[in-house]
Amino acid sequence: MNLSISETIRAKRRELCYSQEQLADMLGVSSQSVSRWETASTYPDIELLPLIANVFGITTDELLGVPLINAENKKAAYRREADAFPRGSRERISVLRRACTEFSFDWELTYSLCRELIESGADGYPEACSTAYKALEKCRGGKWRYDFTSLIAQTESDERVFDFLDRHTSDIDSRRDNLLAWRYLTRENYDLYLAMTQKHRIFALNSILNGPVIDAETLADNEKPITPDHERRIRVLSANLAYVNSVIGIDEEVSLRHPIIGDGVPDMWFITRYKNGFTLMSRLAAVGRIDEALDMCDELATLIINLFTLDEGTILSYRIDKEGRLDAAISYIEDENGRSAKLTFVHRIGFRPDGEPETMPVYRASELLAPFLNKSNPFKSEIWDHPRLSAAVERMRNATGVK
């Protein structure tokens, strides 16, 4: 047996954020046994190897350190073959089915197959759901169990979805509501989606904790492979922005007229507004709705200019509902790359106990303007050479000092 098994167990356990005690509970052994495996003092019993590999979402060969160059090459070949076809196409799905048959414990391939089945439309939901169920029964790794649970919540029938959520989540687990909200959003049931997200803090601190760094490469990667149904994505992105405005109490008429900036008052929903707004602009341009795309561009410019031209010490709020609010003071840093904005928490309600002010990641204007300056839109469009976009970029550069 290759000595690397100890290294593999230790590395995979840490990668999945399990303690030795948690892994031991999953395997029905003592934490001391796991410790001895990781230090190569002893090896697991041979009958435990498939179970350990299953928990980690790898093959027993990978666990044992057997050279897997050929297997990895074959998986890569399947992915290249699949990538030659459009998202959700029968050909792409067929390739992934073959890959999953050959590598039945490769959860990444299984997850990709499920996503493609969903992308193909409602007719693909039953197979995606049954595939995710089978994976959930076999998979012991926490990350993949969460992902397959999410897939089932999205694709299960209306008659069975609540029973599934009752068995796999709890009333005190906000993930239940998150899964339902995601189901409603992907099925374009926007009334139920907005109702769920207003009642529960679905996005909570995501736009803050995910950090402000946005660049052209990130935005492009997030949109690849490009979903052919631009109109559907436009509706989803518009629903996201409508949600942001609804939870902070912006008048519906204002929200519809100014989806990205709402009432124009800067707040800490900035990154959510920016991400969804930039992609919405790109999608609108891709389907030839140029005037609407340019309106979104002007709103994005206003959003950025507003953030970087406030008086030092101005308080921005991150409102969720009546019971959830964060307040932060803004300050600025100037350097050769332009202006950066720093927010320092000064007051919290409904998140964590109030304490010492806490600084969040810095918003760098140069990073936020990069997609505009580099014209790095994953969708080809005439918008990048339009005078209105050029004028908006110039306004943002003048306000932020970005060269």
Average pLDDT over residues 134-153: 80
Residue-wise pLDDT for 82-117, tens only, equals 999 998 899 999 999 999 988 877 888 999 999 999
Task: Report the percent of the chain where pLDDT is more than 90.
Answer: 25
Q: What angle do CA 61, 62, 64 make, to 5 degrees?
A: 65
Is residue 58 a contact partner of residue 75, using CB atoms and an 8 Å limit?
no
pLDDT digits (tens, 9 = 90+) for 222-260: 444 344 567 777 887 888 788 778 767 788 788 888 999
Q: Model's pTM, two decimal places?
A: 0.52
Percent of the chain with pLDDT over 70: 78
| Token pair in block for residue 127 | 């197979």
Q: Give the whole-angstrom CA distance, residue 333 versus residue 312.
A: 11
Q: Whole-angstrom Cα distance, residue 162 to residue 168?
A: 10
Segment 272-300, tens digit of pLDDT? 889 889 988 988 888 889 999 999 999 99
Instruction: Give me the residue spans of the domains in the chain.
Output: 4-64, 69-168, 173-202, 206-400
Q: Are 222 and 210 in contact (CB under 8 A)?
A: no
What is the amino acid identity at position 270?
Answer: F
Fold of 69-168: 1.25.40
Strand partners, 349: 325
What the block records as the tokens of 131 is 């595939």
**What digits encode the pLDDT tens for the residues 316-337?**
887 654 455 678 889 999 988 8
CATH topology of domain 4-64: 434 Repressor (Amino-terminal Domain) (1.10.260)
